[in-house]
Amino acid sequence: MTIDPARREALLECYRTVDPEHVLHVGDLELYDLPAPTWFISGQGEPEAGPRG
């Protein structure tokens, strides 16, 4: 699965704006190279839940 470039930029802009220490993401992550430690609850097609980043 590839993420749409506009969606990728929107997600990264959220990280830049908030500058979080940690993130909880719910649903399909679609992007695994994130600028903060991110835990996610797996969505459809995700291999497993756990920390990323």
Give me the residue spans of the domains in the chain.
5-52
User: Is residue 32 within 8 Å of residue 48, measured between CB atoms?
Assistant: no
Predicted local distance difference test score (pLDDT) of residue 38? 85
Predicted local distance difference test score (pLDDT) of residue 48? 56
Predicted local distance difference test score (pLDDT) of residue 29? 72
Predicted local distance difference test score (pLDDT) of residue 32? 76
Separation between Cα atoms, residue 49 and residue 26, nearest integer Å: 10
Predicted local distance difference test score (pLDDT) of residue 13? 93
Q: Could you report the per-residue pLDDT of 1-51, keeping only the tens digit for each?
A: 577 889 889 989 999 999 989 888 877 777 778 888 888 776 666 555 555
User: DSSP 3-state assignment of 1?
Assistant: coil
Predicted local distance difference test score (pLDDT) of residue 41? 79
| Token pair in block for residue 10 | 């929107």
Q: 39 pairs with which residues across the strands?
A: 24, 51
